[in-house]
Each structure stands twice: as structure tokens, then as C-alpha cells.
Amino acid sequence: MNVLISVDMEGVSGIVHPSETNPDRYDYERGRALMTAEANAVIAGVLDAEPAADVLVADAHGPFRNLLPEQLDRRARLVRGKPRPLGMLAGLDADTDAVLLVGYHARAGSGPGVITHTMSGDILDVRVDGRSLGEIGLNAALAGHTGVPVVLLSGDDAACAEFEELVPGAVTVAVKDALAAAAAVALHPEVARERLREAAAEAVRRRTRVSPLSIAGPLTVEVDLYSPVSVDLAMLVPGVSRAGGGRTVAFSATDFAEAYRLVLLLVQLASIKPG
């Protein structure tokens, strides 16, 4: 059995503020340790259920260089660094049997939720055929395009609710209840890890009961960008056009994999500042 575990940071228990998730802030090292510990709990749960599983862990937060390699469970392999194919789901392929999303957060504009956003603070919304999708939906649909179910998600209660609407029957673990964008009532990290280990084992055992999220092409994608300058840069990409107002661009894609790659490119363009 081949399992991909994609680990983000904002949805980890104990984390509520960007100072805990950004490499240039004072509390980041503590956030990295908490993130790595939750990844280890999920790895352990997967291997409790399937001792012979091949477990690949994708570091899926910010620079993709957050998980502490020397502290990660040695039974798993680690994908880190960027840019890379498939972004947060690097390592996904047709041989993957199940995907687990750990430490995820709700989409931009939703809430209350802890540190809600979609890919970056430069993206206000992503809509696929009119449906707003955050990182949860984008990654679940990318896995579904490959025919792979996402069988587990952990994060705050807002993230879990978002995922449950998209993927009925999958397992969720709410490690904290959001009070605001930078406040939550969180489980003790050790309690969260215990629940994650149990839930990961359950999710892997019942994976055949979860259907992949399938969004068939062709697709129309709209992306709302924070800065009008980002819209100007997006106009340099063939097939991308302005779509009403000063902040929205649109493009067509033959399938979800193509749409996902173009969204990743727009995220990178949006990070370029004028001057």
C-alpha cells in the first residue's frame, strides 16, 4: 500500500498565530516541532493499520522546508523544497492508494477559522466552475483527478467542516475549535497526537469506502487576486484573461491537474511586488 501524507502547519494543535508559522518570526521553531510531532502521529497510525505500507510525507507549508527531517519517523520518506510538481501533493501518482491531509486550514474568506487563506495572502478566492475552493478542495480534487481518495483531514473545526462537505465519509480530527483568525480552544498536543494516530489507522482501514472527489473537465477557473499589479502580471500567461473588476482573472483548463498547475503559477506571480 502506498500512502501520501500532506502536512500543512496552520491547522496543527497549539498553533494560532502567524508568528508560529513563518520562518522569520520568533515562535517558528516551536511551530515546526509541533508540526513534526503531528506528522509522526499520523505515520504511526498508518503503519499500525498497514505495517508494510510505503509512506511518503510531503512538507506542504510555506517554503516546504518546515518538518524537521532528523525528528521525522524514520519509516517514512520526506518530500521537501520548492518549486516542485503538484505542490502540496508532491509525490502523488497513480500508484497512491490514499492521501491524508494533516494540519490544514479553511479557505480564504471563511470563518471563524485559524489563519484562513488560500495558498497565500495574495489570493482572495479560487472558483472552479463557480465553486469556491481553498487548499482543502484544490488538493482533494487533484487527488481525485488521479483517482485517489483523501481519507483523513485534521485541522480546526472550520477546516473539518469544509472537508466533510466535499468528501463525505472521510475521517476528520478537529484538534482545535476556532474562536477567531488568531485564537482557538486547542487540545493538548499530546491528546491531539493520540487522536490523530487512532484516526489515521481508522482512515486507512476504511479507505475503500471513501470516494475520490471528482471534478471533471473542461473547467472554467476564476482567481481573485489581492493586488491589481498581480492581475497585470497574470496577463502575461497565455490563456489568462481579465474577468470583471480589477482583481479577477480567468482561464479554461482541460482537466483539474492543468487547473491546479495554473493556480500554482498565479500564486507565484502574485508574490512578485512592483519595483
Residue among 94, 1, 13, 105 at smallest CA distance from 46: 1
Q: How far is Cα of residue 37 from the mean position of the Cα atoms in its chain?
A: 18
117 is known as an active-site residue: yes
Handedness of CA 157, 163, 167, 172 (dihedral sign): negative
Query: Among residues 105, 117, 145, 188, which one is catalytic?
Result: 117
Q: Which residues contact 83 (CB under 8 A, 6 or more apart)?
A: 268
Q: Which residue matches cell numbers 480546526?
A: 156
Q: Distance (Å, rounded) from C-alpha 37 to C-alpha 44?
A: 11
Verify cis geometry, omega within 30 degrees of 0, for the bond prior to 112: yes
> Residue 133 in 3-state DSSP?
coil
Amino acid, single-letter form, for residue 248: T
| Residues forming the active site | 117
